[in-house]
Amino acid sequence: MNIEEYLTILTGQIRCKKARQGVAQEIRNHILDQTQAYEQDGMEHEKAVELAVREMGNPVEAGTALDRIHRPQFDWRLFLITVLFSMAGVFIMAVTGALGQNAEWLNRQCLFTLLGIGITAVVYFVDYTFLGKYPLQIYVIMTLVFFLYERTGTRVNGVVVALRSLAYLYVPAYAGLLYKYRGKGVLNLVRSFGFLLLTALLSQWFSRSLYIGMGIGVICTLVFLYTALKGWFSLEKILFDRKRLTTPVLLAVIFIFVTLAFATYILCFAQDYQKIRFAAFLHPEEYMDANYQLMITRRAINGAQFIGESTQGTIIKPFVQQDTFLIFAQVVAMYGLAAGAVVITAFAVFALRALHVVKCQKNQLGMVLSAACFLLIFFNCVTGILMNFGLLPLGSLQFPFLSRGGSATVMYAVIIGLLMSCSRYTHIQTNPIEGIF
């Protein structure tokens, strides 16, 4: 039996078509290496090939064993956590007053939650590699759709509220662009960095939120730096002699540059009320009118008990009924620091499970996409909690599972679905991870 005949029988036992090519190449390389070793011992080529193939074992048995390994895997833990936390989120929104006193709001949120779970399941079955094949087309189409929606969508105080959540879908789209432009060359580096800045600007423009624009910019910057550390752009060879500047130092320079770019943007392009919010955070006593929500939040947290409602337990409720970005502070004010610790623990459990998906990835696209989704979830959880403790300026925030409305639910459903899709194809290696880690 020659090599091709052996591989045809072996790969025929593997049901996942995506895995066949990678498995065949891996087995072929092993056979060729063993053949070369036999030839170096003086064996003729044909006999060496025949012996190397025979040593691989029965192709049917070997293929069946590989089929059990190289096949889509369903991440039951992540899916069950998603379902349980989605249900818990609706319960928390109901008991904290975030859904108001109208039963219609509760019914709508339950419907949105069921829809989100369904979207997660659908995206799970979608092959995420389409983001690596058509990233620029997806990015352009998404931008056009957002532009049309921004012009025609329902506005509240001059803002299409749904875009404040949907803008976060730029993060996985940017991950696809990084995968497209990976590799050596100054042009790829410039393209990746240019799309980073463009993504931050578009996100801010569509959402009309400086916080969301900066947040997405920071997330994309972290994803960019992560891929750079993986050696995708060979930064030392492109810009500097390795002996003069190491990768960590160079990445630190890039991060500082991006930070200065955001600071410059705030100073030059932010609206007056946005600048006042930053000033009010730094000097709350001088900007009492502009800082009212922040002061209320700090009062509620400072007056919280370990268990049970504080004397300030109801002061945040009007704000939570308008928008759920202060819902964590409301939980602490109504039920105590212990309840807040439970919420933080739940966020940590979900983030760790998402991080597990990142660590298990065996191909480059799965690595960068899962990392982008994880960083989005982690960033919003951490900054949201800090904001609710009064340690960050208040801004438009979307908590996972705790944000009211359909757009936030749909956005996180897509992000979690992409994470599950990456997990589904973890053992199907299409493009190995390369880099310094």
Residue ranges for the chain with pLDDT beneath 70: 13-16, 18-19, 66-72, 184-185, 234-292, 311-315, 317, 319-322, 427-437
Q: pLDDT per residue over 255-295, tens digit each?
A: 666 666 666 666 666 666 666 666 666 666 665 555 667 77
Spatial separation of the C-alpha atoms in residues 343 and 365, rounded to whole Å: 32
Alpha carbon distance 419, 352 (integer Å): 12
Amino acid at 248: P
CA distances (Å), origin 191, targets 107, 256, 341: 45, 19, 42
- The contacts of residue 304 (CB under 8 Å, 6+ apart) are 310, 312, 332, 333, 336, 337, 340
- pLDDT given at position 432: 47
Instruction: Give the helix/strand (H/E) hosting 264.
Output: helix 247-269
Give pLDDT tens digits for 385-422. 988 887 777 777 788 998 888 899 999 999 999 999 98
Distance between CA atoms of residues 166 and 133, nearest Å: 22
270: left (phi over 0), alpha (psi -120 to 50) or beta: beta
Residue with tokens 């891996």: 26
The predicted structure's pLDDT at residue 90: 92
> How much is the pLDDT for 116?
93
Q: How far is residue 259 from each of residues 139, 195, 226, 252, measured CA to CA in Å?
A: 24, 16, 16, 10
* Cβ(209)–Cβ(189) below 8 Å: no
Q: Which pLDDT does position 288 carry in this prediction?
A: 56
Task: Specify the pLDDT at position 178.
Answer: 92
* Inter-axis angle of helices 186-207 and 170-180, nearest 10: 170
pLDDT at 376: 95
CA R_g for the chain: 26
pLDDT more than 90, % of the chain = 28
| Single-letter code of the amino acid located at 219 | I
